[in-house]
């Protein structure tokens, strides 16, 4: 307990103290790659500071240097002009710097309380002193208005809740400066709003918060100041209120962005895929898709909007044969594909950009070539007498690399070594290259930077014009609205509403996403 | 490890070899203390190991004799591991393969002489494959751990062999079955030694498996499943079928080891045919980083160490256990160094 009292006083001190954490002229090279060139950045007590930049701009590197995970080749870190020696995260934590990673570092089988006390003074020396820890944690959570149930297992928490636990963890360890790496990448819109509130609260309590992001909307709504990095260099720092989205984009990518929008009229061709009253159950017998019906025609993009976990994953899996369909029918160009093997459905002309490229879309330890032929390795173009034709495969991969400007050392590079954006480009390129009749694009731009998003959107629109039927499943409402000819709102595994392009406004879709009692009963009746 | 510091800047392979070499020296130094304590000059002991392993054509042939079955069991383990399955059952598959080979080798069906050997080979492979198919089926259909099932089936197979030797196939003289027909004996490839064409079969198997894994469609599917089963499903690979086939084929490779021992070395089924070929195969597979070609090299080196150790024991009266200690230490350290390296 005494240890904790001293800790609270530390937080109290920081509330009044005006400190500045700075990185001074930091340069870092990885082999021949210059990750940071002469980067300077300062974080002040009481501010939310956004660090904006495309993938590979060097944001993560400078943050890792601030957190002691990476040592700079030149330059240093200081607090209030006093140089800090950061040889490891331990040093950084000791100096009051905390970091919340994109991939959380929690023990899923332990409770929130146990995770928060793990490895801290709260844990007690030999025995876990739960009641004391509970009192202390409740106090901290209350102060920052972070709502969390200390007794739940981390594995049962939503992503947003896990993130709150991570933030609390940093605070428990006495963090005054808090770095959040892509904090919103995995959150739903409501959770993003909650996070914004928490971050403002932290700033008001005298903490300094850095959010590393490539999403402009967040920068403008949450931050006090924004720094922009491009190609390893710091472009500058501005007060958020003195700048705007257009300016920031130009600073970030070095040019103007032409936003992808549907240009031409919606002139759909014949029906490519039709789902009739499709019902799926998961392992626990719960309904995934609940008598869902939809049609997608050639030359149209059908957007699926909805809060995550309302059947999006099941929809993609049902269409690709990855999950069993309990009843209903799915036809592709008039032929039933219900419960056919995935290989057969793929061969019949279905392309699939899966939601999670690490889990499903690619094999990290494989080369780009192996990933490029992952889906089509059986096709005669890549194999002869059961053996893979490496030359053809490699030149095919090289073509994808060129066409989609994938940043890599060549077809032999390891997939896992690519940045997230380039991995996604390869998966996307692979699926487009197969020229499917139906393309299921699930969260096709998740984790991508603005330039890459623009690129993916353009390609999707090109393919629509070329007559592909595209199912766009995304939790980014703006993306769905910008690209879709028709918007279907998915809720509880059912289509809660279908809107034509002209009717699909943010408000209309949002209302359907959350649902009202009336449509709910309608859905059951149907 | 210390040696890692010596090799900074080198390629991965140079670094790896240097690490292995450095660790061998380290282990040799440690065991030198042990030897010195028992009153043996370590240098003489080590010299005796080297002479025993490489000193004559017969010595080298003995190393290869040792390497033959463990190469095949290592290949078995490698194929299964590459597909994400743990085959701890190679030992049992060796026994079953041997039993089938002996059964055919008695030639009660009076096959023409030229057909006996091929029939034994096929029987050995098929029996090993069928024996492995059982745990594979249980795993894929019911989710039961192939580790547990294969371990248990090892005891079943070894005990079944003892039953045959003591019962239906008892020869009455030695603790072994009666001999197979002479047309079922593999030719010796170095005259005056025990090295049979079984070694060639192991080499061929390694070459074929290497090629299949690296460049065939089947191998691609196996590797994809082993590396990321979700991506394999997503790509439409028939995961269960491929896993079943790899496990069965793995069993077949271990069965071949049984065939090789019968047709190449014993010419009957002795009690205690396998002194743990299956388990040594796991070690070889891991040391070879699941690479079939490297497995041959590792198996040979392990063979050299064991053959050399026997010779050391004969010449200096040093217990073979010392070499077992060396082996154990070396394996632990190499695997540990690799873990450290991976971080």
Does residue A266 or residue A472 have the better pLDDT? A472
Residue A519: per-residue pLDDT:
42
Q: Would A2-252 and A260-349+436-526 be classified into the same CATH topology?
A: yes
Beta strands in A187-325 (DSSP E): 208-213, 225-230, 233-239, 271-279, 292-297, 301-305
**Chain B partners within 8 Å of A378 (Cβ):** 217
CB contact under 8 A, B217 and A352: no
Q: What is the mean pLDDT of residues A129-145?
A: 84
| Least confident among A16-25, A253-262, A371-380, A458-467 | A253-262
User: B23, B334 in Cβ contact below 8 A?
Assistant: yes
Q: Measured between CB atoms, which of A341, A365, A388 is closest to B227?
A: A365
**A375 at B interface, C-beta within 8 A:** yes
Q: Measured between CB atoms, which of B220, B230, B236 is closest to A343?
A: B236
Does residue B11 or residue A430 have the better pLDDT? A430
- The angle at the Cα of A404, spanning A398 to A407, to the nearest 5 degrees, equals 75
**Chain B partners within 8 Å of A354 (Cβ):** 234
Following CA atoms A228, A232, A233, A236 in sequence, which dihedral angle do they give, to the nearest 10 degrees? 10
CB contact under 8 A, B236 and A366: no
Q: Which residue of chain B has the CA closest to A316? A: B234
- Tell me the C-alpha to C-alpha distance, in Å, between residue A131 and each of A113, A136, A167, A192, B307: 10, 9, 21, 32, 64
Run of H or E including A38: strand A33-44
Q: Which residue of chain B has the CA closest to A342? A: B236
Report how far Cα A242 is from the mean position of its chain's Cα atoms.
28
Does residue B70 or residue A2 have the better pLDDT? B70
Judging by DSSP bridges, how do beta strands A301-305 and A327-332 pair with one another?
A: unpaired
Does residue B268 or residue A512 have the better pLDDT? B268
CA–CA separation, A44 and A210 (whole Å):
10
CA–CA separation, B198 and B69 (whole Å):
8
Q: Read off the DSSP letter of residue A284.
A: T
A397-400 contacts, C-beta under 8 A, 24 or more apart:
A397/A368, A397/A369, A397/A372, A397/A373, A399/A433, A400/A372, A400/A426, A400/A429, A400/A430, A400/A433
When computed from its CA atoms, the radius of gyration of chain A, rounded to whole angstroms, is 25
Selected residues 322-341 of chain A with any CB under 8 Å from a CB in chain B: 322, 341
**Chain B partners within 8 Å of A351 (Cβ):** none
CA–CA separation, B187 and B183 (whole Å):
10
Q: Measured between CB atoms, which of A341, A346, A377 is closest to B217?
A: A377
User: Is 90 exceeded by the pLDDT of residue A454?
Assistant: no
Residue A126 banded pLDDT, cuts 50, 70, 90 = low
Q: Which residue of chain B has the CA closest to A377? A: B217
Q: What is the mean pLDDT of residues A496-524?
A: 70
Per the structure block, which two tokens stand in for A461? 């629109």
Burial A367-396 (b: 16+ CB within 10 A, else e): bbbbbbbbbbbbeeebbeeebbbeeebbeb
**Chain A partners within 8 Å of B220 (Cβ):** 370, 373, 377, 388
- A261: helix, strand or coil: coil
Mutate one of B234, B238, B240 to test the A interface: name it (highest A CB count within 10 A): B234
Mutate one of A343, A374, A376 to test the B interface: name it (highest B CB count within 10 A): A374
Residue A190: per-residue pLDDT:
76
**Chain A partners within 8 Å of B221 (Cβ):** 377
Residue A400: per-residue pLDDT:
93
Mean pLDDT of the residues in chain A: 84
Exposure of B213 in the CB half-sphere (CA atoms within 13 A):
24
Residues 6+ apart with CB under 8 A from B287: B294, B298, B331, B334, B335
CA–CA separation, A374 and A423 (whole Å):
13
Residue A11 banded pLDDT, cuts 50, 70, 90 = very low
Question: Which CATH number is A2-252 given?
Answer: 3.40.50.300
| Least confident among A20-24, A103-107, A117-121 | A117-121
| Least confident among A30-44, A224-238, B86-100, B247-261 | A30-44
Q: What is the mean pLDDT of residues B97-121?
A: 92
Per the structure block, which two tokens stand in for B286? 């891991």
Judging by DSSP bridges, how do beta strands A177-181 and A233-239 pair with one another?
A: unpaired
Q: Where are the domains of chain A?
A: 2-252, 260-349+436-526, 365-433
Q: B23-51: per-residue pLDDT in tens?
A: 888 888 888 888 888 888 888 888 998 99
User: Is 60 exceeded by the pLDDT of residue A1?
Assistant: no
Burial B327-340 (b: 16+ CB within 10 A, else e): bebbbebbeebbee
Residue A144: per-residue pLDDT:
82
Q: Which residue of chain B has the CA closest to A348? A: B236
Mutate one of A344, A350, A384, A386 to test the B interface: name it (highest B CB count within 10 A): A386
Residue A512: per-residue pLDDT:
84
Selected residues 339-358 of chain A with any CB under 8 Å from a CB in chain B: 341-347, 352, 354
Residue B342: per-residue pLDDT:
62
**A313 at B interface, C-beta within 8 A:** no
Residues 6+ apart with CB under 8 A from B142: none
CA–CA separation, B170 and B270 (whole Å):
10
A69-73 contacts, C-beta under 8 A, 24 or more apart:
A70/A28, A72/A26, A72/A27, A72/A28, A72/A36, A73/A27, A73/A28, A73/A29
CA–CA separation, A373 and A367 (whole Å):
10
User: Is 70 exceeded by the pLDDT of residue B298?
Assistant: yes
Q: Measured between CB atoms, which of B218, B228, B238 is closest to A363?
A: B228
Residue A101: per-residue pLDDT:
86
Q: What is the mean pLDDT of residues B177-199?
A: 92
Q: Measured between CB atoms, which of B215, B231, B237 is closest to A388?
A: B215
Per the structure block, which two tokens stand in for A149? 């149930």
CB contact under 8 A, A360 and B223: no
Q: Where are the domains of chain B?
A: 69-302
β-sheet bridge partners, residue A488: A304, A498
Architecture of domain A260-349+436-526: 3-Layer(aba) Sandwich (3.40)
Q: A28-74: per-residue pLDDT in tens?
A: 987 767 889 999 999 999 999 999 887 778 888 899 999 998 899 99
- A285: helix, strand or coil: coil
Q: Which residue of chain B has the CA closest to A376? A: B235
Q: Measured between CB atoms, which of A346, A362, A373 is closest to B231?
A: A362
Secondary structure in 3-state letters for A50-105 = EEECCCCCCHHHHHHHHCCCCCCCEEEEEECCEEECCCCHHHHHHCCEEEECCCCC
Residue B4: per-residue pLDDT:
32
Residue A10 banded pLDDT, cuts 50, 70, 90 = very low
CA–CA separation, B122 and B97 (whole Å):
9
Q: B-side interface with A, Cβ within 8 Å? A: 215-218, 220-221, 223-224, 227-228, 230-231, 233-238
Mean pLDDT of the residues in chain B: 90
Residue B5 banded pLDDT, cuts 50, 70, 90 = very low
User: Is 90 exceeded by the pLDDT of residue A185?
Assistant: no
Predicted TM-score (pTM) of the model is 0.75
User: Is 60 exceeded by the pLDDT of residue A524?
Assistant: no
| Least confident among A183-187, B97-101, B272-276 | A183-187
ipTM above 0.90, yes or no: no
Q: What is the mean pLDDT of residues A76-84?
A: 88
CA–CA separation, B72 and A156 (whole Å):
46
Residue B343: per-residue pLDDT:
53
Does residue A282 or residue A300 have the better pLDDT? A300
User: Is 50 exceeded by the pLDDT of residue B7?
Assistant: no
Does residue A462 or residue B339 have the better pLDDT? A462
User: Is 90 exceeded by the pLDDT of residue B214?
Assistant: yes
User: Is 80 exceeded by the pLDDT of residue A267?
Assistant: no
**A374 at B interface, C-beta within 8 A:** yes
């Amino acid at each position: 307990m005494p240890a904790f009292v001293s800790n609270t006083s530390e937080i109290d001190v920081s509330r009044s103290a005006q400190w500045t954490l700075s990185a001074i002229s930091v340069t870092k090279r990885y082999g021949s790659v210059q990750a940071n060139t002469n980067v300077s950045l300062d974080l002040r007590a009481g501010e939310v500071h956004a660090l904006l930049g495309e993938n590979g701009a060097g944001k993560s590197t400078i943050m890792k240097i601030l957190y002691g995970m990476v040592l700079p080749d030149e330059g240093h870190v200081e607090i209030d002009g006093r140089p800090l020696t950061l040889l490891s995260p331990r040093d950084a934590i000791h100096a009051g710097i905390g970091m919340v990673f994109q991939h959380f570092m929690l023990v899923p089988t332990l409770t929130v309380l146990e995770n928060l006390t793990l490895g801290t003074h709260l844990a007690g020396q030999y025995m876990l002193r739960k009641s004391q820890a509970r009192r202390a944690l409740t106090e901290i959570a209350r102060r920052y208005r972070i709502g969390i149930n200390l007794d739940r297992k981390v594995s049962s928490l939503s992503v947003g809740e896990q993130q709150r636990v991570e933030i609390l963890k940093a605070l428990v360890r006495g963090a005054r400066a808090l770095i959040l790496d892509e904090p919103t990448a995995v959150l739903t819109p409501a959770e993003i709003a909650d996070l914004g509130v928490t971050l403002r609260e932290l700033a008001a309590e005298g903490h300094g918060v850095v959010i590393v992001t490539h999403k402009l909307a967040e920068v403008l709504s949450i931050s006090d100041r924004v720094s922009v990095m491009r190609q390893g260099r710091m472009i500058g720092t501005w007060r958020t209120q003195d700048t705007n989205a257009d300016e920031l984009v130009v600073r970030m990518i070095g040019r103007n962005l032409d936003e992808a929008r549907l240009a031409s009229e919606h002139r759909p061709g014949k029906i490519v895929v039709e789902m009739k009253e499709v019902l799926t159950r998961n392992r626990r017998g719960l309904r995934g898709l609940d008598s869902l019906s939809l049609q997608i025609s050639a030359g149209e993009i059908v957007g699926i909007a909805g809060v995550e976990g309302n059947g999006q994953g099941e929809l993609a899996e049902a269409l690709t044969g990855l999950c069993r369909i309990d009843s209903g029918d799915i036809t592709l160009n008039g032929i039933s594909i219900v419960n056919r093997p995935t290989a057969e459905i793929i061969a019949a002309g279905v392309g699939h950009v899966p939601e999670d490229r690490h889990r499903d879309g690619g094999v990290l330890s494989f080369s780009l070539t192996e990933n490029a032929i992952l889906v089509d390795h059986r096709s005669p173009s890549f194999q002869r007498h059961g053996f893979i034709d490496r030359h053809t495969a490699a030149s095919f991969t090289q073509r994808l690399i060129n066409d989609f400007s994938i940043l890599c050392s060549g077809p032999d590079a390891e997939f896992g070594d690519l940045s997230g954006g380039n991995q996604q480009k390869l998966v996307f390129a692979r699926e487009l290259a197969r020229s499917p009749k139906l393309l299921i694009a699930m969260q096709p731009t998740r984790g991508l930077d603005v330039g890459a998003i623009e690129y993916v959107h353009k390609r999707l629109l090109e393919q629509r014009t070329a007559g592909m039927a595209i199912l766009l499943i995304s939790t980014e409402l703006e993306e769905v609205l910008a690209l879709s000819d028709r918007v279907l709102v998915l809720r509880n595994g059912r289509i809660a509403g279908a809107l034509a392009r002209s009717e699909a406004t943010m408000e209309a879709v949002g209302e359907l996403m959350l649902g009202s009692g009336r449509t709910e009963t309608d859905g059951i009746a149907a | 490890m210390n040696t890692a510091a010596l090799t900074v800047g080198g390629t991965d392979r140079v670094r790896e070899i240097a690490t292995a070499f450095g660790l061998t020296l380290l282990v040799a130094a440690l065991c030198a203390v042990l030897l010195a304590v028992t009153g043996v000059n370590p240098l003489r002991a080590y010299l005796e190991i080297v002479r025993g392993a490489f000193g004559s054509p017969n010595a080298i042939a003995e190393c290869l004799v040792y390497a033959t079955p463990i190469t095949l069991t290592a290949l078995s383990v490698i194929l299964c591991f590459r597909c994400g399955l743990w085959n701890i059952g190679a030992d049992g598959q060796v026994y079953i393969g041997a039993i089938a080979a002996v059964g055919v080798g008695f030639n009660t069906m009076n096959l023409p002489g030229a057909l006996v050997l091929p029939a034994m080979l096929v029987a050995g492979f098929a029996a090993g494959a069928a024996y492995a198919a059982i745990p594979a089926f249980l795993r894929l259909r019911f989710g039961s751990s192939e580790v547990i099932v294969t371990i248990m089936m090892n005891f079943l197979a070894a005990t079944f062999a003892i039953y045959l030797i003591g019962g239906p196939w008892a020869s009455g003289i030695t603790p072994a079955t009666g001999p197979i027909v002479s047309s079922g004996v593999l030719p010796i490839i170095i005259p005056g030694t025990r090295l049979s064409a079984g070694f060639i079969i192991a080499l061929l198997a390694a070459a074929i498996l290497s090629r299949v894994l690296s460049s065939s469609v089947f191998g691609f599917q196996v590797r994809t499943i082993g590396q990321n089963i979700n991506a394999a499903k997503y790509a439409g690979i028939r995961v269960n079928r491929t896993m079943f086939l790899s496990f069965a084929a793995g069993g077949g490779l271990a069965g071949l080891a049984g065939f090789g021992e019968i047709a190449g070395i014993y010419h009957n089924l002795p009690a205690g045919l396998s002194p743990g070929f299956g388990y040594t195969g796991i070690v070889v597979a891991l040391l070879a980083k699941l690479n079939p070609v490297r497995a041959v090299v590792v198996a040979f080196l392990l063979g050299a160490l064991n053959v050399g150790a026997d010779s050391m024991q004969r010449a200096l009266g040093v217990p073979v256990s010392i070499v077992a200690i060396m082996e154990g230490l070396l394996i632990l350290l190499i695997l540990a160094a690799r873990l450290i390296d991976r971080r």
